[in-house]
Structure formats: structure tokens, C-alpha cells
Amino acid sequence: MAFSERVSRLKSSLIREILAAAQRPEVMSFAGGLPAEAMLPKVQWAEMPLSLGQYGMSEGETALREALAAEARALGLNCEASQVLVVSGSQQTLDLAAKLYIDKGTEILLEAPTYLAALQIFQLFGADCLTVPQEADGPNLAQLRSRLEQHHPAFIYLIPTFQNPSAVRYSEAKRAAVAALLDEFGVTLIEDEPYRELTFDGGSAKPIAARLKKTSWIYTGTVSKTLLPGLRVGYLIASADLFAHLLKLKQSADLHTNRIGQWQTLQWIGTEQYQQHLGQLRDFYRQRRDAFQSALERHFADLADWNMPQGGLFFWLTLKQPLDTRTLLNEALANDVAFMPGEPFFPEPDNHHGHLRLNFSHIDPVRLDEGLKRLAAVVRQANLENVA
Amino acid sequence: MAFSERVSRLKSSLIREILAAAQRPEVMSFAGGLPAEAMLPKVQWAEMPLSLGQYGMSEGETALREALAAEARALGLNCEASQVLVVSGSQQTLDLAAKLYIDKGTEILLEAPTYLAALQIFQLFGADCLTVPQEADGPNLAQLRSRLEQHHPAFIYLIPTFQNPSAVRYSEAKRAAVAALLDEFGVTLIEDEPYRELTFDGGSAKPIAARLKKTSWIYTGTVSKTLLPGLRVGYLIASADLFAHLLKLKQSADLHTNRIGQWQTLQWIGTEQYQQHLGQLRDFYRQRRDAFQSALERHFADLADWNMPQGGLFFWLTLKQPLDTRTLLNEALANDVAFMPGEPFFPEPDNHHGHLRLNFSHIDPVRLDEGLKRLAAVVRQANLENVA
């Protein structure tokens, strides 16, 4: 059996395995990143034109591209509809970017930690992953400069707003500083923004791509966290020099994004109805975040440190007594609790023990306290065993 | 700007450019492969559960996988639902297969001519494309054996039923012989079957994958030609040794296929309603095929040879006086006629002048005669100029 060389880097997905294990209804899962089912909006299909059943354009539906460009301009991004490419979720943007930039051994620059599925696709294509440590307000700037002075990464991949997994939102100062550094060194930015709208304090966060003056950029978003993930509709907006390449790569990947989902998305983007829905979503998730914070304080105060997330879907815990959290999984699942170990969010997992990513949006509130109590007991037991 | 090495092989898509030019309403287009709008079935959405808005499984919806496996077993394919992966159209199967098999310089084996968009994605990944000449009843078997004796291709890619572009349907004898050769040499088969259901004479055609005894295989189909292409729902069925890899590659490409389109597809697959729709579709396209054949005889009898297609969407013309048909495009478009030159369907276009692919399913019947008349005039004029 002669597979490609890249298949040797095709890892078994820990997320897939954990989510599969968490399918059992008795499992209390903090593992996934699923929106709460109660907050999926009731969508209508009756008005959809039959003609949308025909093949569509690889770029996406014209009206949707215009609506997305208008939203992006409101965020400060200097762009036209012609720079918008509708994709099948942000994950596809990462696949297209990997194809555009990564040969075996190509250096790229990432936050540490970073989004696990981004790491997987970049590594599949053979990237050599350099990292910058994430701090509470964004990347360590001295180390970012140092990496840029010593390397020429093909791009830097950043999730500046409520990062998955760390929940970090870059400060205004760091956004400006990162943009200036990327312009100075001419490094392309890939900015991934799935969680922008899930803000609990209303704080603004102008995209880094909107602050660039010279270098190339890809900005990517999705409706998966705010509307319906099952539609598989996301988008990228790219600087004009990159767009034609990304369009051809999209066409060769799957011709075009499903038009049914694009039509439904267009019914929402830019409407008052969508703003109302987003308001309800933020209230709902803020309450879940607050309840989670209280439960964490009850059960994890002596075990871990964390910052309270101001948006997004996750708490990121740092254990006071570091251990390889992957070793906790079996015992947790045996107690009907699922969580995401922190190690796979780093290119070098074995150098980054002791973090847990906990999703707060999807757990049934009546099971929250029991779930965290059991998870804390698993950690506590492991601490004892490690000491012994 | 440092792109990946593969981007140097990212060709401008002739199809995209021709289809864009053919957007003008006055253009009579034989270029695309679009289903006739009149035959898009009226689909209902009212019963779709809201829960389908949530994230789904990378494998696809369980009920749909079971229905697709049952259909495939009825064709003779020995498979279970666990071997079915729902994808965003057949094009995505080709992307996943390219990732699974192709490094720069990997030898693969194709029919000549073959599907242009397959050629593009395989070449993008750096494949070294070997070919076997297509004959009226399938590939030349002596040359197929010779290629397999002299090379070890990672896979062979075949479209045995109403091939795009040649419209060839392999004979039973050639299907059996090809399967035996692939088993003998242990070469993986990728069998692409978008046109299987569009048969005009009801002739059967057991898949080659169903005849294999030993070697690995991927069988891929779609509802784009028979239901609604805008749904972006296709599927692959793979031998068990390949499935886990393809599933991980699907997950890293776009997490999963849109569930809205999967649900709609499930309302049709295996139903009496679908059989009725397919019957109407075959009748409709058969009539268009017949009208096209008559018009071709009027205008192209002295200019080209062709076989009447027994299914699919295309006529494949071989000019009696060979010339590079790409050079006809500007003049044709100036006369408001669009067609697909044959050269891009070969890995070495410059060695294969003199073919035209003409789509018969989409042209308005009242414009058919005028369209072919104008196209014939363009060919005739070029012949005169070449002689002069």
C-alpha cells in the first residue's frame, strides 16, 4: 500500500475519539465546542427559490458576498465583495491556506496554544510549526519579534478574539503592535475569527487585518457559532493579491459551497433579527459562563488557575500541579465526564503538560456541578498518585 | 511572496473562463455540464428537523449512509454503511484521494481523455499522469497491461459509465478485464460514477469495483446530476483498508458535509418518487440527445465523427481535419456560441488536438440548431484558413 508521504502525518484525532466516547447520554461532556441546542434559531425555508438547486459560482452567492463585505467593512476591514470567498466553514479556509502556502518543511508561525484542528491540517501538509507564547492579552511581543527576525514564516496564524482554546482576547495595544510587526517583516496574516460575536462584555476588538498597511492577509469567519453549524457556511476575505489563487483552490476542492446554506445565511446577515438573536445568544452564554465560573471556584480553586473568559465557548485551566492531562481521560470517562486535554493544542504536546480546555456552552446546567465535581476528583486522585 | 511549490501548477481554469463568458444571456452554450433547470425537482423543506442545524458527524448522517450502502449493494458492490463517507460532491472525493496518494512525482494512471477537473487536482498535488487510450468500449487493454507491467501507479482513475468527456460506457468484457488486471497488479481503483443513472437504453453496467477480488478501491457518486447540484452532496464508498484515512482527511478538510442537503438527499434515495423522477429525467435527456444528434448530422456530418452517447450529458466530436480547438474559442464566443475544447481533457493537451465536448442537456431546444450551425461555421472557416 503506497500512500502519500503526508499520510504518515495523518494523526488519529483525539477530539474525534473523545466526542465519540462522549456520545453516551450519561456522559457529562466539557469536551466539544458545540453551540447549545436550545439556542439554534428557528429558520424558515419556505421562501427559498427552486433555482438554488442548480450549480452555483465557486466564489459564492453574489448577494451573500456583498452582505459579508459590508459587515467586514463595519469592523474596519478595507474590502470589497470581490475579495469574499464563501467556504464550507472556517476549517476549509485552513485547508485552502495550507494548499496555498505549505510544502514539507515550510515554516509557519502559530500561537502556543493554538486551535488543534488548524495544527492538524498545517502539519498534515508538512509545516514546520514555530510558536509564540500566548499571554493573557495576546502574544509575547518580544518573542514574536525574535521569531520574525530569525525566521521567514510563510504566514502567521492568529485567533485574536476569544481564542480556542485559551479564551484570550488580544488587547488593543497588542493588536496594533502585531500588525506593525507583520508589516515590518512582510509576513502574511491568517486571522481566524469564529468567536468574535460571542462577546460578554461588549468590548470592541478591531481585526488585526484591518490594521495592516502593506502585508497580505486572509480573514476568516463562520456562522457556525452564531447561526447553524450544520449549514456548513463560512467565508474568507483576502487581500487582492491572494484571492485568485484561493478561488482556484476552492474550485478544485469542491466546486462551490452549498447554496441552500448560503441562502439561509443571507436571510440573517445584516438583519435586525440577527442582532436580536445574537443578543439572546450572548445573554444565554454569559449566564452559562457565570454558572461555570461559580462551579469551578467550588471544585477547582485548589487545583488550577484560570482567567474568566470574556467571550467564546471555553475555560482554559492551568493545573497547579502539572501532569499530562491526556492520562486523565480514561479515568474521567470511566466516571462519565469528558474534557479536552490541553497538550494537543501545542505543536510539541510533551512540552506543555497541565492544561484543560472546558467547554461551558453545551453542558446541561443541572449536571454542571456534578460534572466538575467528578472531574476535580479525577485530578485530585492523579495528583496524589503522582506524589506517591 | 512565497507560495507553496504546488501553486506553480495551479492552472487558470479554462472551464471557469468559458462558463463566465457564457453567462451572457445571448450566448448559446454547449460548454458546461449543467442539468436542465426544467428538470430540477420541486423539493420540500417543511419537515426538516431543527436539530440538523447542529454540528454533525464527519462520516455523514447515519440513515443516509445506510441508504447509500443499500443502493450500492443493489449494484453489486460488497459494502456496509460503515464504508460510506458523505462528501460535498464527487470533486471532494478527488481532493481527498489526491491527499491520500499523491506526492510530487507520484505516478497515477488515467484514461485519455479524462475528466478535466480530476486532472487539475491530481496535477496540483504533483502527480505524474500516465494514460491509457480510451476506445469506444473502454480502455485499450493491451496498453493497460503494458502500463501496469512497466509502472507502479498509486491508483488508476476511471469513469466507466458515460465518461466525461468521451461519453464512453465500458463493455461488460472490458469491465471484467480491467478488474482482473487491477487485481493481478494490485493497483487501487478510483471509480467515478456521476452519470450512471442517466442511461438512455437501460443497459446495465456493473461497477468495476464490484468485480475486484483483492485490490483496494474507492467508488464515488453524487446526486448532482440527478437531484440538485446546489445541495453539494456526494459520497464515496471505500474498501475497509482505506476508510479510516479518508475519514480523517474529510474531517481536516471541512469537518463534515452540510446536513441540510444530506437530509434532502435522504428524502429521495431509495424511494419510488426518486425512481419516477429518474424516469422523467432519462426521457427528457434522451429527447434532447436525439434532437442534438439530428442537428449534428445536419451541420457537422462533413466536419467531424462521433458516437451517439447512450447516457450522460455530452457528445464528443473528433474533427476530420484536426486543429487546436482552443484556437476556435474566441471566434465562437464572438458568434455567441460556447463549447469545451477537447485538449484540456488530456494530460498532454498539445498531443491531442481536434476534439470538442458538447453538452446537450442544457441548451434551449429552440436555439440548438442555430447554435450548432454557428459553431460548424467557425470550424469550417478555421479549416479553410489552415489549408490556406
Nine-digit cell string for A135:
499571554
Contacts of B228 in chain A (CB under 8 A): 53-54
Amino acid (1-letter code) at residue B96: L
Question: Are B245 and A10 inside 8 Å of each other by CB?
Answer: yes
Distance from CA of B46 to the nearest CA of A (A): 7
Question: Residue ranges of the domains in chain A?
Answer: 5-40+274-387, 56-270
pLDDT tens per residue, range A296-345: 999 999 999 999 999 999 999 999 999 999 999 999 999 999 999 999 99
| Averaged confidence pLDDT in chain A | 95
Give the fold, CATH level 3, of A5-40+274-387.
Answer: Aspartate Aminotransferase, domain 1 (3.90.1150)
Secondary-structure class of domain B55-272 per CATH: alpha beta
The ipTM assigned to this model is 0.96
pLDDT beyond 90 at A20: no
pLDDT beyond 90 at A386: no
Question: Are B253 and A92 inside 8 Å of each other by CB?
Answer: yes
Which candidate in B8, B232, B262 is best for mutational testing of the A interface (most A CBs within 10 A)?
A: B232
d(CA B285, CA B294): 14
* A33 vs B321: which has the higher pLDDT: B321
What is the number of residues in chain A?
388
Question: Are A34 and B12 inside 8 Å of each other by CB?
Answer: no
Contacts of A123 in chain B (CB under 8 A): none
Give Cβ neighbours of residue B37 (< 8 Å, ≥ 6 apart): A51, A54
pLDDT beyond 80 at A22: no
Contacts of A3 in chain B (CB under 8 A): 100-101, 154, 245
Give the fold, CATH level 3, of A56-270.
Answer: Aspartate Aminotransferase; domain 2 (3.40.640)
Q: What pLDDT does residue B1 have?
A: 58
Q: Are strands A304-305 and A314-319 parallel, antiparallel or unpaired?
A: antiparallel
- SS3 of residue B151 by DSSP: coil
Spell out the per-residue pLDDT of chain B, length 388, in tens.
589 999 999 876 777 778 777 778 899 999 988 888 888 999 999 999 999 999 999 999 999 999 999 999 999 999 999 999 999 999 999 999 999 999 999 999 999 999 999 999 999 999 999 999 999 999 999 999 999 999 999 999 999 999 999 999 999 999 999 999 999 999 999 999 999 999 999 887 999 999 999 999 999 999 999 999 999 999 999 999 999 999 999 999 999 999 999 999 999 999 999 999 999 999 999 999 999 999 999 999 999 999 999 999 999 999 999 999 999 999 999 999 999 999 999 999 999 999 999 999 988 899 999 999 999 999 999 999 987 6
Q: What pLDDT does residue A32 have?
A: 85
Q: What pLDDT does residue B110 have?
A: 98
Question: Are A248 and B12 inside 8 Å of each other by CB?
Answer: yes
pLDDT tens per residue, range B15-36: 777 877 777 889 999 998 888 8
| Contact indicator for B109, B158 with CB cutoff of 8 Å | no
Distance from CA of A75 to the nearest CA of B (A): 26
| Contact indicator for A112, A134 with CB cutoff of 8 Å | yes
Q: Which is nearest to A264 in space by CA: A291, A237, A294, A228?
A: A228
For the residues A140-167, what does the mean pLDDT come to? Answer: 98
For B123, which residue in chain A has the nearest alpha carbon?
A252
Contacts of A87 in chain B (CB under 8 A): 254
DSSP string, B91-102: HHHHHHHHHHHP
Q: Name which of A31-40, A373-382, B91-100, B304-313 the model is least confident about.
A: A31-40
Q: What pLDDT does residue A1 have?
A: 58
Residue from the list A4, A55, A264 with its beta carbon closest to the beta carbon of B101: A4
Contacts of B34 in chain A (CB under 8 A): 54-55
pLDDT tens per residue, range A78-112: 999 999 999 999 999 999 999 999 999 999 999 99
Q: What pLDDT does residue A36 have?
A: 85
Q: Are strands A337-338 and A28-29 parallel, antiparallel or unpaired?
A: parallel
CB pairs under 8 A between A and B: 212
Residue from the list A7, A16, A261 with its beta carbon closest to the beta carbon of B260: A261
Contacts of A230 in chain B (CB under 8 A): 52-56, 258-260
Q: What pLDDT does residue A100 have?
A: 98
Please report which confidence band the pLDDT of residue A284 belongs to, taking 50, 70 and 90 as the band edges. Answer: very high
Question: Are B2 and A124 inside 8 Å of each other by CB?
Answer: no
Residue from the list A124, A230, A249 with its beta carbon closest to the beta carbon of B252: A124
Contacts of A241 in chain B (CB under 8 A): 1
